[in-house]
Amino acid sequence: MDESPKESPRDFIRSIVAADLASGRHRAIVTRFPPEPNGYLHVGHAKSICLNFGIALETGGQCNLRFDDTNPEKESDEYVRSIQEDMRWLGFDWRDGLHFASDYFEALWQAARELVEKGLAYVDEQTAEEIRATRGTLTEPGCPSPWRDRPAAESLVRLDEMRAGALPDGACVLRARIDMASPNLNLRDPALLRIRRATHHRTGDRWCVYPMYDFAHPISDALENITHSTCTLEVEDHRPLYDWVVANVTLPSRPRQIEFARLELTHTVLSKRKLLALVQEGIVGGWDDPRMPTLAGLRRRGVPPDALRDFCERVGVAKANSVVDVALLEHCVRERLNPEVPRYMGVLRPLELVIENYPEDGEEWLDARNNPEDPAAGTRQVPFSRRLWIERDDFRQEATRKFWRLAPGREVRLRWAYFVTCTGVELDPTTGEPVRVLCTYDPATRGGDAPGGRTVKATLHWVSARHAAAVDVRLYDRLFLDERPGEDWRDRLNPHSLEVLAARPAEPALAMVAPGARVQLERLGYFCADARDSRPGALVLNQIVGLKGAAAKG
């Protein structure tokens, strides 16, 4: 988006940034995106990435990628790799700003010692249970730990023992010494460091003390000279602690935390815990299953990255939590694909159509426009013959007032080909279902236009049976039945979220598209050639999104 300086800022965070530049408080803006490498990125992360990188791009500043890797048990290199890959796909570049909170473990350790020396932190020997029990409630103050006023020198000795591995997990914790009566529970002597024997994906077994988020985050921000540290609303109540850390530790800069509403999307979940469960329980095929709201899933499904960026821009940034309709994302995808992608014809649920007055062995190649929205897209040739496949839904034995497609006696247009009139139907003797529809064609309507301006109300897509290629098609629907699946999300899964249609007839040119290519199947929707499962001569199409309303009927 064009951001001329005169335009008023798009959201309250950009307003703050603009004001800080105007007042000279900051000469350059530095933001960061701080994922924890404990899962793949999802659409919610995309919102945060677009915000942080967007601000840096618009102000000529820098956005860092910092891995918030302070919980070794749940983190891994696989996630570190996937996050970088997904961010590049989305179109963002952190330049030389790649950082890891684990690179700051030593600095965090020094900060901990500094706080103890200043009398602002102490080693508490109470059990986790005791600490929880003495924290108080919203209406009652907490109860100070018996270790709260121990001499700093004593805490320092214990702190060194914690780091040296002399104490078992949970034996003690380092706590900030703030205010046990604070109305904000986060200020009631929160834990800063804890003992945890766990192998870290980068630092291995070098450390057995790990920092808490509230301690690591402000210090990491300050060490990177972050000016504006955005995060979601859940940590709003933690901001006084963020500010306390920044004010009391000797640091090169004073970053500011700003909270915004997290993105929620209908019919899916954006919690890493739930997404991980979907993967681990085999409910989906992996983090990149096209039904997943992960960036890897959306990419595999065929969603263009600029459509996702457009979506994030439209969602905007605000303070109020809201749930965004997934239809908005689908709209952005369609809007991006419609002018661009080539059209093809394929039939998902085939019914045979025989043109009785067409020569038995006749064949012709008809001109078809590659994209009616774009004359420059040119044409291709589509083979036509006596036996065609049409969509089962496009035929009914009895035409009603609302059904304008093929029915006995009814004339329709075959896209790019001819007008045909239905002359009869052969039924399956046991089920009564149509197995073959008979018709005649009007040779004077070649190309799909009748002389004298005769019109029809419907245009059908079709595939010549003799020339058809076979493609596998995967249709996707919402992963969850409910708009907002709650904690019982496992019971709310949509059993029809994936439908696999094997060996469907398609015009031969479709079988030649490259893996990863996006196409429109006329009247059906947008599809992407699955880059992993497609083989030469055996194309697999993932449905990206259907067509909208009327366009889908024709």
- Active-site residue list: 36, 262, 272
- Residue 326 or 422 with smaller CB distance to ligand ATP: 326
**Among residues 45, 66, 175, 386, which is the contact residue for ligand ATP, using CB under 6 A?**
45
DSSP string, 25-57: S-SS-EEEE---SSS--BHHHHHHHHHHHHHHH
Q: Please name the residues in contact with 106: beta carbons below 8 A apart, sequence gap of 6 or more.
A: none
317 near ligand ATP (CB under 6 A): no
Residue 100 exposure: Cα atoms within 13 Å on the Cβ side: 20
Tell the smallest beta-carbon distance from residue 51 to ligand ATP (Å): 8
Closest CA to 63 of 22, 4, 17: 17
- Widest Cα–Cα separation across the chain: 102
- Residue 242 or 419 with smaller CB distance to ligand ATP: 242
217 near ligand ATP (CB under 6 A): no
Which one of 45-53, 243-251, 367-375, 519-527 is the stretch in contact with ligand ATP (CB under 6 A)? 45-53
Given a contact cutoff of 8 angstroms between Cβ atoms, the answer to whether 15 and 319 are in contact is no
385 near ligand ATP (CB under 6 A): no
Structure tokens at 453: 């301006």
263 near ligand ATP (CB under 6 A): yes
Tell the smallest beta-carbon distance from residue 324 to ligand ATP (Å): 10
Tell me how far the alpha carbon of residue 403 is from its chain's centroid.
38
3-state SS, residue 104 = helix
Tell the smallest beta-carbon distance from residue 314 to ligand ATP (Å): 14
Integer CA distances (angstroms), 462 to 350, 389, 405, in order:
9, 5, 13
- Residue 11 or 125 with smaller CB distance to ligand ATP: 11
Binding pattern for the stretch 14-43 against ligand ATP, x by CB under 6 A and - elsewhere: --------------------xxx-x-----
76 near ligand ATP (CB under 6 A): no
What one-character DSSP code corresponds to residue 252?
S
Closest CA to 126 of 150, 144, 153, 145: 145
Instruction: Kindly identify the residues of this chain, within the stretch 223-242, that bind ligand ATP according to CB under 6 A.
Output: 231-232
Q: Residue 323 is inside which H or E element, if any?
A: strand 322-324
- Residue 242 or 418 with smaller CB distance to ligand ATP: 242
Tell the smallest beta-carbon distance from residue 483 to ligand ATP (Å): 16
- Residue 48 or 497 with smaller CB distance to ligand ATP: 48
**Among residues 44, 142, 350, 554, which is the contact residue for ligand ATP, using CB under 6 A?**
44
With CB under 6 A, what is the number of residues at the site for ligand ATP? 15
Tell the smallest beta-carbon distance from residue 408 to ligand ATP (Å): 54
Query: Phi/psi of residue 520, each to 5°?
Result: -110, 130
- Residue 34 or 297 with smaller CB distance to ligand ATP: 34
Closest CA to 404 of 553, 278, 263: 553
Ranked by CB distance to ligand ATP, the top (closest) residue is 44
- Residue 231 or 368 with smaller CB distance to ligand ATP: 231
| Measured distance CA(57)–CA(211) in Å, rounded | 31
- Residue 231 or 407 with smaller CB distance to ligand ATP: 231
**Among residues 14, 47, 177, 300, which is the contact residue for ligand ATP, using CB under 6 A?**
47
Instruction: Kindly identify the residues of this chain, within the stretch 265-304, that bind ligand ATP according to CB under 6 A.
Output: 270, 272
Q: Please name the residues in contact with 101: beta carbons below 8 A apart, sequence gap of 6 or more.
A: 34, 66, 67, 68, 69, 70, 211, 216, 217, 220
What one-character DSSP code corresponds to residue 155?
H
**Among residues 262, 387, 446, 478, which is the contact residue for ligand ATP, using CB under 6 A?**
262
Tell the smallest beta-carbon distance from residue 116 to ligand ATP (Å): 28
Tell the smallest beta-carbon distance from residue 259 to ligand ATP (Å): 9
Q: Please name the residues in contact with 21: beta carbons below 8 A apart, sequence gap of 6 or more.
A: 27, 29, 59
Residues that bind ligand ATP (CB under 6 A): 34-36, 38, 44-45, 47-48, 68, 231-232, 262-263, 270, 272
